């Protein structure tokens, strides 16, 4: 396995190991990862780049009292 798939697998294995070492069970960790990935897939399909949302300000407003 090479490229992004190999790199991603290594990072996923490290993430699972992190939580298993902290006391979680492997199937529980993998199920949580699957749920989060499904939620991410759904969110990205609805809004692939939330930063480009119309009406969003590029910079924070400076209308608070101490700004002037």
What pTM was computed for the model? 0.64
In this prediction, residue 47 carries a pLDDT of 75
Domain residue spans of the chain = 1-47
Question: What pLDDT does 55 receive?
Answer: 59
Per-residue pLDDT at 44: 86
- Contact present, 26 and 15 (Cβ < 8 Å): no
Q: What is the pLDDT of residues 5-58, one digit of tens each?
A: 999 999 999 999 999 999 999 999 999 999 999 999 998 888 767 666 655 555
- Residue 59: pLDDT above 70? no
Structure tokens at 14: 């490290």
Ramachandran class of 53: left when φ > 0, alpha when ψ lies in -120 to 50, beta otherwise: beta
């Amino acid at each position: 396995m090479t490229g992004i798939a190999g790199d991603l697998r290594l990072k996923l294995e490290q993430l699972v190991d992190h939580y298993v070492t902290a006391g979680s069970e492997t199937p529980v960790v993998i199920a949580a990862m699957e749920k989060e990935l499904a939620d991410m897939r759904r969110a990205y399909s609805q809004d692939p780049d939330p930063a480009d949302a119309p009406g969003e300000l590029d910079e924070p407003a400076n209308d608070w009292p101490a700004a002037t």
